[in-house]
Amino acid sequence: MSGLTAAGARSRRWGAWYVAEHKIRQMRGYLGTVVATAIGTPVLYLFAFGVGLATLINGNVGPVPGISYLEFVAPALLASAAVLVAMEEYTFGILLGLKWNATFVGMNASPISPRQIVNGLMIFVGLRMVVTTVIYFVVMVIFGAVHSPLAAMTIPAGMLAGFAFAPVAAYAATITEDRGQFAILQRVVILPLTLFSGTVFPLTQLPIFLQWIGWLSPLWHASELGRQFAYGPTEPIWLTVTHVAYLLALGILGWQLCVRNVARRLNK
């Protein structure tokens, strides 16, 4: 009997990594697009905001004395890029696997558990975010938006921002009929969050009755977090700790809910 029960042992331990490996193989098909986006996005955004828009801003001075507008805006743009990558996988990645190209169903028929499927997706999102944010950071250095080695901490801060959108994945796992929910989500939730999150101007510029959007937004927390390392501190330490805690809490909550929802969906 021991021979029989030992059969799934490797899969029990490494299953999530096998799922991530599968996702990487899938990505080979559109690797060119991924790389082009990862390099093109920072070049375009940093040029548009840091060079173009900055000329309109009084002497390219950021809201913090001695810090250029480019330095102010770069950590937030990097975080937005990570969020974009995460959102893509948390929406289409989930619905692809459950419905359009039902690979999750196939995985689940093997020793892989629903939890491992979701964990594998999370690992893959993490890897994609690493690639995206590291490239972003390199472009920031080239554009002269970085003046301290500590600014490299904008990379994990940006990744935390992406992870904090995991509740979107949990929601995606409940969708059975595609009626354009992702487009609505993008316009009604993500876009306003991006605009009112102190990304391209400080949150304090907004009237107080709009500032709450920023306080809820993972993007605001991640942008401010990155800025503390890039040129800070500009805020009390408790607030910095709050950023990390808030982003982690959202991410872990969404991740666990996603595991639950995917498991329910697959156990018909």
Q: Rounded CA gap, 92 and 196, in Å?
A: 25
257 touches another protein by CB under 8 A: no
Confirm if 153 and 55 have CB atoms less than 8 A apart. Answer: no
CB of 90 to another protein, least distance (A): 18
CB of 262 to another protein, least distance (A): 12
31 touches another protein by CB under 8 A: no
Of 4, 56, 208, 237, which lies in the binding site for another protein, with binding defined by CB under 8 A? 4
Tokens read off for 130: 């690493």
Nearest residue (CB) to another protein, 4 versus 208: 4
174 touches another protein by CB under 8 A: no
Q: Which of 203, 250, 219 is nearest to 82 (CA)?
A: 219
Contact map string, positions 84 to 103, toward another protein, x by CB under 8 A: -----------------xxx
143 touches another protein by CB under 8 A: no
Which residues have C-beta within 8 Å of that of residue 92, sequence separation ≥ 6? 182
Of 43, 67, 111, 141, which lies in the binding site for another protein, with binding defined by CB under 8 A? 111
Q: Rounded CA gap, 35 and 249, in Å?
A: 30
Which residues have C-beta within 8 Å of that of residue 76, sequence separation ≥ 6? 197, 198, 199, 200, 219, 222, 223, 226, 227
32 touches another protein by CB under 8 A: no
Note the residues at the interface with another protein (CB under 8 A).
1, 3-12, 14-15, 18, 21-22, 25-26, 29, 101-103, 105-113, 266-268
